[in-house]
A and B are shown apart, each in its own frame.
Chain A
Amino acid sequence: MTAPVIAAEELVATDDEMMMIVAARELRNGVVCFVGIGMPSTAANLARHMHAPDAVLIYESGTIGAKPTKPPLSIGDGELADTADAVVSVPEIFTYWLQAGRIDVGFLGAAQLDKYGNINSTVVGDYDHPKVRLPGAGGAPEIAGSAGEIFLMLRQNNRAFVEKVDFLTSVGNAEGGDSRQRMGMRGKGPSVVITDIGVLRADPASGEFVLTALHEGKTIDDAKAATGWDLRISDHVEITAPATDEELRKLRALKAGEL
């Protein structure tokens, strides 16, 4: 596929692009980030090409410090190994690296999410007779447990943002308050959810996600309508800084494999 030639006036981010750009901005330079495949991976690689060249990206295939030039289709594409600082076995990545507490941020997607950032990636409907059988846990339960904190990104709609997840695959802020800490989890849990509408941050006391920012052109009503629980709104909802030309150009070049 050839990348379209982009004229200056066409540099307007789509909703998905905005979500990836805002997610990339969340990653600080030097962060050690365990990256899920798909949009989190694209966002993390954009960050590496923008403000965070020293971000260390770790994939569950055992590639540490991977620097792919295009978004990998699978978690174990050859380019991840070719560009990595180290390639270790799958048992090692989950033990010496994740379980031992060497990961700052786990960056995940989800099929369903509740207001405490608890994740379902297993089934829609009943477990024994599912309406939709999803792929399942993968690395997420232990990433959610052991990474320093969790960033989540997914498109916001009321099939995904639900009052109660059909299956609790990975524990977020549990039942709120200090319930997660009482379970003995080492990492502090999900702190931010980046969506195509805005940004939700966990209230430090309750653990509940609160809408704190809207992307340009989106409204509080949009966010509420796309949320299956009674969404709390911050007293000071910010408007996300628009995507810069550089962010958009780099994101599109990254996706086209031309960075």
Chain B
Amino acid sequence: MANITTLSDAIATHVRDGQTLALEGFTHLIPNAAAHEIIRQGRKHLTLVRMTPDVTYDQLIGAGCADKLIFSWGGNPGVGSLHRFRDAVERDYPHHLEIEEHSHAGMATRYVAGASGLPFGMLRGYVGTDLLKYTPNISTVTCPFTGEELAAVPALTPDVGIIHAQQADRHGNVGLWGIQGVQKEAVMASKASIVTVEEIVDELDSRVTVTLPSWVISSVAVVPRGAHPSYAHGYYERDNDFYIGWDSISKDRDSFDAWIDRHIHQTSDYAEHLRLVDQEEGVLA
């Protein structure tokens, strides 16, 4: 059964220095509050897994939490570069970041293999690409029935999988709807899992399309708007202005550090950060 607790307790209980973490959410339901809490608690030497490291991972990387990134597309969607990610890869700032780079299809296959308890997954992919030269854990397997050669990639089995969802019930059963990404796979592939939710309800909404039973989840924490600046379908929209504003905040090392300090280290929780964003100075604060 999932333990229903606070986000700070869930992160303190499950997340350790040096672990492999997967924070998933494909544009929708990105667990940004959880990422802030990881930074606030000062976790280091993490291997971060995520198909689309966007603003969330830009913050974790820029704050020096990550030693390694496993990913398939690292950008600020519709805006441009992730400047902290680029500074790490291009100039080893704040320190060297090892990267392990796949395609989306490959990453999805790796999560499915992990969730399925298989050592690897296979796909028609990667043929002829330079990813084969630079990513050592892409291999091939021959179909025993047809002889066709297919790409093989190892299962992803993170120490902790972290997602955001719309709802949990009082038993900790989690329900989400809208774009579902690889959230279910990330939870099922991981050894422990944390789910932040918009609210706890008596009964999950009839719109729920993905249900994760309480007993496959380690901890559930209520964090209203915990996906912001991403969105939670049926609750709030994507804050596109924040993503656009992030470009200038993150371009400069000092303005990034000041932002992290003000919005994470000097706040006690995500609600306080959201109040800063909403009331005082807007997204650029």
Give A contacts to B, CB under 8 Å: 37-38, 60-63, 72-78, 80-81, 87-91, 94-95, 98-99, 122, 127, 129-142, 145-146, 167-171, 174, 180, 183-186
Expressed in whole angstroms, the minimum distance between the Cβ of B49 and any Cβ of chain A is 14
In the bound complex, CA of A74 to CA of B27 (Å): 7
Q: B105 near A99 (CB under 8 angstroms)?
A: yes
- Residues from 129 to 184 in B contacting A, C-beta threshold 8 Å: 129-131, 134, 148-149, 178-182, 184
Q: A73 near B78 (CB under 8 angstroms)?
A: yes
Known A73-B78, A139-B103; contact A62-B181, beta-carbon cutoff 8 A: yes
A-B contact pairs, 17 of them (CB 8 A): A60-B104, A78-B28, A80-B179, A87-B178, A87-B179, A90-B108, A94-B109, A95-B108, A122-B131, A140-B103, A141-B125, A142-B123, A142-B124, A146-B124, A174-B128, A184-B127, A185-B128
Q: A38 — which chain B residues lie within 8 A by C-beta?
A: 78
- B90 at the A interface (CB under 8 A): yes
- B93 at the A interface (CB under 8 A): no
Expressed in whole angstroms, the minimum distance between the Cβ of B228 and any Cβ of chain A is 13
In the bound complex, CA of A78 to CA of B149 (Å): 38
The interface bits of chain B over 79-105 (1 if a CB of A lies within 8 angstroms of the residue's CB, else 0) are: 101100110011000000000011111
Known A89-B182, A142-B125, A183-B127; contact A74-B233, beta-carbon cutoff 8 A: no
Expressed in whole angstroms, the minimum distance between the Cβ of B128 and any Cβ of chain A is 4
Q: B233 near A81 (CB under 8 angstroms)?
A: yes
Q: A89 — which chain B residues lie within 8 A by C-beta?
A: 180-182, 184-185
Q: B128 near A168 (CB under 8 angstroms)?
A: yes
In this complex, what residue of B is CB-closest to A172? Answer: B128
Known A98-B105, A146-B124, A171-B128; contact A90-B77, beta-carbon cutoff 8 A: no
In the bound complex, CA of A38 to CA of B29 (Å): 21
In the bound complex, CA of A20 to CA of B109 (Å): 33
- B240 at the A interface (CB under 8 A): yes
Expressed in whole angstroms, the minimum distance between the Cβ of A84 and any Cβ of chain B is 9
In this complex, what residue of B is CB-closest to A73? Answer: B78
- B261 at the A interface (CB under 8 A): no
- B18 at the A interface (CB under 8 A): no
Q: A167 near B127 (CB under 8 angstroms)?
A: no
In the bound complex, CA of A95 to CA of B108 (Å): 9
- B270 at the A interface (CB under 8 A): no
Q: A135 near B75 (CB under 8 angstroms)?
A: yes
Known A76-B179, A137-B101; contact A186-B124, beta-carbon cutoff 8 A: yes
Q: B71 — which chain A residues lie within 8 A by C-beta?
A: 136
Q: A170 near B129 (CB under 8 angstroms)?
A: yes
Q: A135 — which chain B residues lie within 8 A by C-beta?
A: 73-75, 81-82
Known A38-B78, A139-B104; contact A77-B238, beta-carbon cutoff 8 A: yes
Q: Is the interface of A mostly helix, strand, loop or mixed?
A: loop
- B222 at the A interface (CB under 8 A): no
- B120 at the A interface (CB under 8 A): no
In the bound complex, CA of A49 to CA of B104 (Å): 30
- The listed residue with most A CB atoms (<10 A of its CB), out of B74, B86, B108, is B108
Expressed in whole angstroms, the minimum distance between the Cβ of A6 and any Cβ of chain B is 25
Known A63-B179, A91-B109; contact A145-B78, beta-carbon cutoff 8 A: no
Q: B240 near A73 (CB under 8 angstroms)?
A: yes
Q: A167 — which chain B residues lie within 8 A by C-beta?
A: 130
Pick the contact of A81 from B75, B124, B178 — CB < 8 Å?
B178
Q: A78 — which chain B residues lie within 8 A by C-beta?
A: 28, 178-179, 231, 233, 237-238
Expressed in whole angstroms, the minimum distance between the Cβ of B190 and any Cβ of chain A is 15
Q: A138 near B73 (CB under 8 angstroms)?
A: yes
The interface bits of chain B over 21-42 (1 if a CB of A lies within 8 angstroms of the residue's CB, else 0) are: 0000011100000000000000
Pick the contact of B108 from A80, A94, A133, A180 — CB < 8 Å?
A94
Q: B51 — which chain A residues lie within 8 A by C-beta?
A: 90
Q: B134 — which chain A residues lie within 8 A by C-beta?
A: 127
Q: B103 near A138 (CB under 8 angstroms)?
A: yes
In the bound complex, CA of A31 to CA of B28 (Å): 27
Q: B111 — which chain A residues lie within 8 A by C-beta?
A: 91
Q: A142 near B73 (CB under 8 angstroms)?
A: no
Pick the contact of A142 from B74, B104, B231 — CB < 8 Å?
B104
Q: A91 near B112 (CB under 8 angstroms)?
A: yes
Q: A170 — which chain B residues lie within 8 A by C-beta?
A: 129
In the bound complex, CA of A135 to CA of B108 (Å): 17
Q: B77 near A141 (CB under 8 angstroms)?
A: no
- B72 at the A interface (CB under 8 A): yes
Q: B72 near A87 (CB under 8 angstroms)?
A: no
- B126 at the A interface (CB under 8 A): yes
In this complex, what residue of A is CB-closest to B210? Answer: A89
Known A99-B105, A133-B85; contact A145-B185, beta-carbon cutoff 8 A: no
Expressed in whole angstroms, the minimum distance between the Cβ of B246 and any Cβ of chain A is 12
Q: B73 near A61 (CB under 8 angstroms)?
A: no
A-B pairs with the 8 shortest C-beta distances? A76-B27, A135-B75, A74-B77, A73-B78, A138-B73, A171-B128, A142-B105, A94-B105
